[in-house]
């Protein structure tokens, strides 16, 4: 269920870049203060077949799964936000993704092991999406503070085979198990 939406850098839903080939999506956050339960954010990517781009995902990539062909990889997986730089990094090689796929949606889910956590309880969250050295979008999840998960990017392949990036952070009230099943559905206005 969608709970709230915010645009990335004021461009929510607008076309940002066409001809995307290889993209890096990264999130980071600060560790929870002493005495609080750790916060664990997880990057999730869902792929959709050209025959049913709004249906159920064909496969999902997250902390304990990978893409069957190696085109979407999760390079880092933090359970606490401790460390230097970006805590979770996912690389999507869209140019290598089989032509059966016409859409990829990327999101971030907050683990709910110790009770309900929303983005308002995450300390210092940040999102960066880039192709090479070009930053396509950045966000701090400030527009979805009451959400437990959020989609952060959508990539759509056109008839010529080119991928287009649509930015935007859209919040959901879904746990990490349910989020992959709802993250690609059309949003209600």
Q: What is the domain-level CATH number for residue 41?
A: 2.60.60.30
In a domain, 38, yes or no: yes
Query: For residues 170 and 139, what is the distance between their CA atoms, to the nearest angstrom?
Result: 11
User: How many Å apart are CA 98 and CA 161, to the nearest integer?
Assistant: 10
CA separation for the pair 176, 181 (Å, rounded): 10
* 3-class DSSP assignment, residue 94: helix
- Collapsing DSSP to helix, strand or coil, 34 comes out as coil
Q: Is residue 189 part of a domain?
A: no
Residue 100 covered by a domain: yes
Q: By C-alpha distance, which of 130, 105, 107, 115 is closest to 41?
A: 107
pTM of the model: 0.89
Answer yes or no: are the C-beta atoms of 12 and 6 closer than 8 Å: yes
Q: In this structure, is residue 80 part of a structural domain?
A: yes
**The pLDDT value given to residue 17:** 67
Structure-derived torsion over alpha carbons of residues 41, 137, 52, 158, reported in degrees to the nearest 10:
-160
In a domain, 132, yes or no: yes
**Per-residue model confidence as pLDDT tens for the chain (189 residues):** 544 444 344 334 455 567 899 999 999 999 988 888 899 999 999 999 999 999 999 999 998 778 999 999 998 767 777 777 899 999 999 999 999 999 999 999 999 998 899 999 999 999 999 999 999 999 999 999 999 999 999 999 999 999 999 999 999 999 999 999 999 987 764
Q: List all residues 6 or more positions away from 189 whose beta carbon is below 8 Å from its beta carbon.
A: none
Residue 151 lies in domain: 2-182
Total tally of structural domains belonging to the chain: 1
């Amino acid at each position: 269920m969608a709970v709230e939406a915010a645009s990335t850098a004021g461009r929510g839903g607008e076309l940002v870049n066409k001809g995307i080939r290889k993209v890096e999506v990264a999130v980071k956050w600060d560790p929870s203060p002493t005495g609080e339960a750790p916060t664990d954010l997880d990057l999730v990517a869902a792929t959709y077949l050209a025959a049913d781009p709004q249906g159920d995902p064909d496969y999902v990539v997250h902390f304990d799964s990978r893409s069957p062909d190696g085109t979407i990889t999760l390079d880092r997986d933090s359970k606490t936000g401790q460390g230097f730089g970006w805590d979770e990094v996912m690389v999507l090689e869209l140019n290598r993704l089989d032509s059966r796929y016409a859409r990829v949606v990327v999101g971030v889910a907050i683990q709910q092991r110790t009770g309900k956590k929303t983005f308002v309880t995450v300390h210092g969250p940040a999102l960066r999406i880039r192709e090479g050295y070009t930053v396509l979008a950045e966000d701090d999840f400030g527009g979805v503070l009451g959400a437990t998960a959020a989609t952060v990017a959508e990539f759509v392949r056109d008839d010529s085979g080119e991928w287009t990036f649509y930015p935007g952070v859209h919040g959901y009230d879904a746990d990490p198990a349910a989020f992959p099943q709802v993250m690609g559905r059309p949003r209600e206005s």
